Amino acid sequence: MAIRRTHISARASGHGARGRRGGAAITVLVVSAISACGNGSEPNVSPGTATAVTASNPAGVPDLTAGEEVARDIEVPWGLAFLPGGDALVAERDSGQILRVSPGRALQQVYEVPGVAAHGEGGLLGLAVSPQYAENGYVYAYFTADADNRIVRFRLDAPPEVIFDGIAKAANHDGGRIAFGPDGMLYVGTGDAGQGARSQDPASPNGKILRLTPEGDPAPGNPTPGSPVYSLGHRNVQGLAWDRAGRLFAAEFGQYAFDEINRIEPGRNYGWPLVEGMGGADRGFTDPQLVWAPSIASPSGIAIAADTLYVAALRGERLWTAMLHDGVASEPAAQLEDYGRLRTVAIASDGALWLTTSNTDGRGDIRAGDDRIIRFPAR
């Protein structure tokens, strides 16, 4: 295995054409209240001793009946992250630009990430703001370059520094969500870049959730020392969020049958491409907690406030909510079906829920003002 610094190296794959949204919606939702892991021999990464984390959520619950538009006419918004003062940074996937969003003020372009090679689902994707932003000023971005998907960090007045690269790219399944966990480590959701075997290969960063230090090195306490891999067997991770007890949940695109919400634990194998949806526990894989047909989901960003999980659905064109009970997601319900494709959902420090539409991404029906950011205040 070739190593670049401490980064796993992977060969980049080629491009492909965008698809169009299609397929009739169905109304059956399959739910599991079990996140199981059997004792089979399939998984290739052993459970580890990742650092325990704790988390907290703002008081209050977003009022989904009181949405207010805070920005419009954004081109394919993808990542969204909050600055300490409450303003948000939003990434435009195709342009490589980062905009500053402040309610009641005009959009402000504050940075352009160099080297973004937008094609298909690739481009400027996830954003994260350093937990020590007030001291170091760092913003992190996951983007598609000419050769691969990579992560950079930068200050808004300085060039970027590559901290992790070698994540294979393709026209789809580029992953891209990044977020700092309650433990201060950077978590990264990647896709299989169209080759499912990568998801089961512990030497590939694709089809994984990675756990990195803020400098881009494998985080201490990962399941395999010296490896960035936190969990494997994923097809295309699109959302990461923690509940108030510090438990990690992830949203994942399925193929033909089942999209998933998984509770992520270190070293677990979530089955792709050997399993889609339920049914892998007897072979040592971990089953999802919630599954949907792709026609009503295609889950992207997720967020958690109090005991509610929020899931932005692209093809499903709705916001799914689910209740969390001691780390188990259940009781899903569809909300906000009037905005079209939904890409990112995030909870601000004041408890408000911010939601981005994704109707200008080549697969949606564009509405006046798209794409937009809608804010739902806490009550």
The percentage of the chain sitting over the pLDDT mark of 70, rounded to a whole number, equals: 84
DSSP one-letter string for 188-210: EE-B-TT-GGGGG-TT-STTEEE
Euclidean distance between CA atoms 306 and 161, whole angstroms: 35
Ordered by where they begin, the domains of the chain are 27-45+53-376 (2.120.10.30)
Lowest-confidence pick of 3-17, 168-182, 276-290, 320-334: 3-17
Residue 305 has pLDDT above 80, yes or no: yes
- pLDDT score for 298: 97
- pLDDT score for 35: 37
Lowest-confidence pick of 38-47, 180-189, 220-229, 271-280: 38-47
- pLDDT score for 60: 75
- pLDDT score for 42: 43
Tokens of 272: 């792709």
Angle among Cα 209, 251, 225 to the nearest 5 degrees reads 15
Residue 111 has pLDDT above 90, yes or no: yes
- pLDDT score for 58: 55
List the end-to-end C-alpha distance of the chain, in Å, as a whole number: 52
Q: Name the DSSP class of 133.
A: H
Euclidean distance between CA atoms 265 and 288, whole angstroms: 12
Nearest-10 Cα torsion for 240, 241, 247, 248:
0
Angle among Cα 205, 207, 209 to the nearest 5 degrees reads 70
Model confidence, pTM: 0.87
> Three-class SS of residue 57?
coil
Residue among 311, 308, 265 nearest 291 (CA): 311
Q: How high is the mean pLDDT of the chain?
A: 88
Residue 129 has pLDDT above 50, yes or no: yes
- pLDDT score for 57: 52
**Contact predicate 372/357, CB 8 Å:** yes
- Find the radius of gyration of the CA atoms of the chain: 19
Residue 282 has pLDDT above 50, yes or no: yes
In this prediction, residues 82-89 reach a mean pLDDT of 97
Nearest-10 Cα torsion for 336, 342, 343, 349:
-20
Write out pLDDT tens, residues 16-66: 332 322 333 333 344 443 333 433 334 444 444 344 444 445 557 999 999
Write out pLDDT tens, residues 236-265: 999 999 999 999 999 999 998 999 999 999
